[in-house]
């Protein structure tokens, strides 16, 4: 049976090379444009670069005028980030130095010693990070699960007034956080939800829900209905078709939505600042206030910021092709 489909190694994606795009002049222009963009990218990332090197400087190097580029890296920033310290009196310093010779003092204590300080206990940074993880993690999970179901309903059924419903959901995200926190503050104090993990999880779930619903609706719209209908005709109910046929195809969409919600919850500052004080305080507000107490603890702040920044950078790479959708609430599909 003559079948002329040239399956071969799959049709190659041929990059059209037009005659006027291979002339030396054009090539030069092309390379120049590439160079400019690379330079701009480098300049753009200088602040991130500064954070990285400051995190591994000793305090004197960090505040050296003019700013020092070549320096001996030290873990002082990290140690300061994770410990509470007090400056030790000269006599106390002598004792500790002698102990250091007899190798009784741990590495961490010795680093503090060089900076003339003695460690008195762990700082609250770890505790704050844990709060961030708990609150961001659970709220993301809740918002994604809820979003999957409601987004499927919006995508498949013309829910009455769908247009404004979606807008109404979105509007909660369009407002400055402050506008919403004034009434929330009152509600939470009366309901004893102020400064509680539950309170923050509930808020972040709703905060992320509008993004998650819009994103998931976009991903569901891309899955053709024929698959579910084929399953119906094959003898499955609508629910079974949803779980067996639709969800497996939406896995990449769910992953992207989960990560976007995680980033937004992880980065959130305003709600955390106003609705928590001690017990449920997350990392962002605590890093911001760290500057206050420790004086010019720049190395610790840089280390804290770095710790907060690395997961986001990794995730940005993983999400490259979904960024467009996530940032524009799924409005623009690539």
Interface of this chain with another protein, residues 22 to 81, rule: CB under 8 A: 22, 30-31, 33-34, 36-38, 40-41, 44-48, 50-51, 54, 62-67
Going by the DSSP 8-state scheme, the letter that residue 13 receives in this structure is: -
Among 73, 106, 161, 248, binds another protein (CB under 8 A): 248
3-state secondary structure of 33: helix
Asked if residues 280 and 131 have their Cβ atoms less than 8 Å apart, the reply is: yes
CA distance 205 to 140: 6
The least distance separating another protein from the CB of residue 168, rounded to whole angstroms, comes to 8
The site that binds another protein (CB under 8 A) totals a number of residues, namely: 128
The least distance separating another protein from the CB of residue 113, rounded to whole angstroms, comes to 24
122 belongs to the binding site for another protein (CB under 8 A): no
3-state secondary structure of 84: strand
Among 24, 25, 121, 163, binds another protein (CB under 8 A): 163
Other Cβ atoms within 10 Å of 327 Cβ, number: 12
CA distance 246 to 152: 9
Complex with another protein: residue 82 or 188, whichever CB lies closer: 188
Among 84, 94, 222, 234, binds another protein (CB under 8 A): 234
Complex with another protein: residue 82 or 266, whichever CB lies closer: 266
115 belongs to the binding site for another protein (CB under 8 A): no
Complex with another protein: residue 126 or 186, whichever CB lies closer: 186
CA distance 316 to 320: 6
Complex with another protein: residue 62 or 138, whichever CB lies closer: 62
CA distance 76 to 300: 8
- Compute the radius of gyration of the chain from its Cα atoms: 27
**At 84, phi and psi to the nearest 5?**
-95, 135
Going by the DSSP 8-state scheme, the letter that residue 47 receives in this structure is: H
18 belongs to the binding site for another protein (CB under 8 A): yes
Complex with another protein: residue 127 or 185, whichever CB lies closer: 185
Asked if residues 277 and 124 have their Cβ atoms less than 8 Å apart, the reply is: no
CA distance 110 to 120: 13
Complex with another protein: residue 87 or 172, whichever CB lies closer: 172
Complex with another protein: residue 133 or 270, whichever CB lies closer: 270
Report the site for another protein in 307-326 (rule: CB under 8 A): 308-309, 312-313, 315-317, 320, 323-324
The least distance separating another protein from the CB of residue 117, rounded to whole angstroms, comes to 21
Other Cβ atoms within 10 Å of 301 Cβ, number: 22
Report the site for another protein in 128-157 (rule: CB under 8 A): 146-147, 149-150, 152-154, 157
Report the site for another protein in 174-233 (rule: CB under 8 A): 174-187, 189, 202-203, 205-206, 209, 213, 224, 226-227, 229-233
Partners of 81 in the beta sheet? none
278 belongs to the binding site for another protein (CB under 8 A): no
Partners of 87 in the beta sheet? 117
The least distance separating another protein from the CB of residue 140, rounded to whole angstroms, comes to 14
Complex with another protein: residue 113 or 263, whichever CB lies closer: 263
Among 84, 167, 198, 277, binds another protein (CB under 8 A): 167
| Cα-based distances in Å from 256 to 246, 302, 319 | 16, 29, 7
Residue whose pair of structure tokens reads 């995508």 in the numeric block: 155
């Amino acid at each position: 049976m003559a079948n002329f489909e040239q399956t071969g190694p799959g049709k190659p994606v041929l990059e059209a090379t037009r005659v006027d795009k291979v002339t030396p002049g054009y090539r030069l222009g092309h390379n120049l444009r590439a160079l400019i963009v690379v330079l701009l990218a480098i300049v753009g990332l200088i602040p991130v670069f500064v954070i990285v090197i400051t995190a591994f400087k000793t305090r004197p190097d960090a505040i050296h005028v003019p700013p020092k580029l070549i320096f001996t890296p030290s873990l002082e920033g990290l140690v300061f980030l994770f410990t509470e310290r007090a400056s030790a009196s000269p006599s106390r310093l002598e004792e500790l130095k002698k102990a250091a010779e007899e190798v009784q003092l741990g590495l961490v204590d010795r680093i503090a010693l060089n900076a003339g300080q003695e460690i008195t206990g762990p700082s609250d940074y770890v505790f704050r990070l844990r709060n961030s993880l708990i609150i961001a993690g659970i709220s993301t999970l809740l918002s994604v699960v809820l979003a999957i179901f409601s987004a499927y309903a919006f995508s498949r059924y013309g829910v009455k007034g769908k247009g404004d419903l979606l807008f109404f959901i979105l509007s909660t995200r369009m407002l400055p956080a402050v506008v919403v926190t004034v009434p929330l503050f009152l509600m939470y104090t009366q309901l004893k939800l102020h400064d509680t993990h539950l309170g923050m999880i509930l808020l972040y779930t709703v905060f992320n829900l509008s993004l998650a619903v819009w994103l998931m609706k976009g991903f569901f719209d891309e899955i053709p209905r024929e698959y579910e209908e084929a399953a119906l005709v094959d003898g499955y109910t609508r629910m079974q078709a949803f779980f067996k046929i639709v969800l497996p195809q939406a896995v990449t969409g769910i992953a992207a939505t989960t990560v976007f919600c995680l980033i937004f919850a992880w980065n959130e500052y305003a709600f955390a600042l106003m609705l928590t004080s001690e017990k449920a305080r997350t990392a962002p507000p605590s890093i911001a206030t760290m500057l206050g107490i420790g004086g010019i603890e720049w190395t610790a702040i840089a280390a804290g910021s770095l710790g907060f920044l690395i997961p986001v950078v990794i995730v940005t790479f993983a999400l490259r092709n979904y960024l467009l959708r996530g940032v524009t609430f799924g409005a623009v599909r690539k």
